[in-house]
């Protein structure tokens, strides 16, 4: 992919995002469809995100333990794991899982609708397909990824608690206090805020790839595939951006 084509693609995606905002703020609002998409993107992704969150928390704790014990810093395990999960691992893992599951789903669904003229059929049926399909999905992803991240964080921390309790007993209160004692708003809020952008990027890229899919069979596959790749990449880029911005603001 040449530089100019990347720039052109970025430009088109930006214009697409602009259209999402323009059309999103104009009535009529597709509340029913938005709620349904929230259900599909949010609730139906929870098992996957929750499972990865649990495994992540458990593995992180068990891996960290030998090193920390060597340094005689067992009491720092909850802090280390908690900070890692809340600041980076939770948002990133959730973002990637959603980019994989939801991004591909949106990309495939919209591109197949495009290919089988369902999008045109919506226009003909007096429905703005952009609003009905794109705006609702982008908005639902934007709103649901933070919720999924918070739940994934919670599940990950629970897994960390389980992991710590495999070697000796720690009470929930102590575990919570150890984490909360080191945590500040500057750790939590940027980590939550950036997930809104993750969700927006995943939804936007999925919709863009699907909505402008090539006609034909391979267009659908390509749309689903590139939605996942570009979505995951966007999650990492936004995360980098978030770190830079919050260190500029002195939050870390």
Partner 1 sequence: MLPAPTPAPPAAPTANPAEAVLTIANVSLAFGENHVLQDFSLTLLRGENIVVMGKSGAGKSVLIKCVIGLLQTDSGTITVLGQDVAALDHNGLDRLRTKLGFLFQSNALYDSMTVRDNLLFPLRRQWLTHTPAQEAELVKQALEDVGLADTAAKMPAELSGGMRKRIALARTLILRPEIILYDEPTTGLDPITGREIDHLIREVQKKYNTSALIISHDLACVRLTADRVALLSEGRCYAEDTYAGMQANADPQVHDFFV
Partner 2 sequence: MTAFLLITNRLPLPTMPQRPVGNSIRLGAFVLTGLGCLLAVLFLLGRKQNLFSRSLVIEADFRNVSGLLTGNNVRLGGITVGTVKGITIVNDSTIRVAMSLNTDAQPFVRRNAVATVGTDGLVGNTIINLTAQPAPAPPVAAGDRLRTTTPASLNAMLGTLDISNKNLAVITQSLRRMATKLDTSAIWQLLNDRQLPATVHLSLGNVLATTAQLRQAAQNAVQLTNGVRRGQGPLGYLLTDQQFGGQLGHAARQLAGTSDTLAATLTGLKRQVQTGAGPVHTLLADTAAARQVRQSLRSVQQGTAGFNQSMEALHHNFLLRGYFRKQARKKARATADSLKRVGQAR
Interface with partner 1 (CB under 8 A)? 109, 112-113, 115-118, 120-128
Instruction: Name which position in 53, 91, 103, 146 contacts partner 2 (CB under 8 A).
Output: 146
For the bound state, the minimum distance from the C-beta of residue 41 to partner 1, rounded and expressed in Å, comes to 14
133/160 with CB nearer partner 1: 133
Residue 174 contacts partner 2 per CB under 8 A: no
Do 225 and 213 touch, CB atoms closer than 8 A?
A: no
What SS3 class is residue 251?
Answer: coil
Residue 188 contacts partner 2 per CB under 8 A: yes
Give the burial class of 24: count Cβ atoms within 10 A of its Cβ; 0-12 exposed, 13-18 middle, 19 or more buried.
middle
Q: Going residue by residue from 9 to 48, which x/- string records binding to partner 2, judged by CB under 8 A?
A: -----------------------x--xx-xxx-xxx-x--
Selection from 21, 80, 17, 90 nearest residue 53 by Cα: 90
Q: How far apart are CA 224 and CA 146, in angstroms?
A: 23
For the bound state, the minimum distance from the C-beta of residue 6 to partner 1, rounded and expressed in Å, comes to 24
209: left (phi over 0), alpha (psi -120 to 50) or beta: alpha
Question: Computed from CA positions of residues 125, 103, 228, 22, in that sequence, does the dihedral angle turn out positive or negative?
Answer: positive
109/239 with CB nearer partner 1: 109
For the bound state, the minimum distance from the C-beta of residue 127 to partner 2, rounded and expressed in Å, comes to 16
DSSP state letters, 112-137: HHHHTTHHHHHHHTT--HIIIIIIHH
* Chain residues that interact with partner 2, rule: CB under 8 A: 32, 35-36, 38-40, 42-44, 46, 86, 105, 108-109, 112, 115-116, 146-148, 150-151, 153-154, 176, 180-181, 183-185, 188, 192, 216-217, 220
């Amino acid at each position: 992919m040449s530089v100019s084509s990347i720039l052109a693609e970025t430009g088109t995606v930006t214009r697409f995002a602009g259209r999402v905002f323009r059309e999103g703020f104009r009535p009529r609002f597709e509340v029913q469809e938005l709620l349904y998409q929230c259900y599909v993107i949010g609730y139906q992704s929870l098992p996957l995100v929750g499972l990865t969150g649990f495994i992540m928390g458990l593995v992180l704790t068990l891996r960290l333990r030998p090193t920390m014990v060597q340094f005689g810093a067992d009491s720092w395990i909850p802090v280390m794991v908690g900070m890692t999960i809340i600041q980076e691992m939770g948002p990133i893992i959730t973002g990637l899982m959603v980019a994989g599951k939801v991004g591909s789903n949106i990309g495939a669904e919209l591109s197949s609708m495009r290919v089988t003229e369902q999008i045109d059929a919506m226009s003909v049926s007096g429905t703005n397909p952009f609003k009905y399909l794109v705006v609702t999905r982008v908005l639902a992803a934007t709103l649901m990824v933070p919720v999924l991240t918070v739940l994934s964080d919670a599940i990950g921390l629970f897994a960390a608690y389980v992991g710590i309790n495999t070697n000796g007993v720690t009470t929930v209160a102590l575990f919570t206090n150890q984490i909360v004692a080191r945590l500040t708003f500057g750790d939590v809020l940027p980590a939550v805020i950036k997930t809104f952008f993750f969700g927006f990027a995943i939804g936007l890229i999925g919709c863009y790839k699907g909505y402008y899919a090539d006609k034909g069979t391979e267009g659908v596959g390509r749309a689903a595939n590139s939605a996942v790749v570009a979505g995951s990449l966007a999650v990492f880029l936004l995360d980098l951006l978030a770190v830079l911005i919050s260190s500029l603001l002195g939050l870390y």
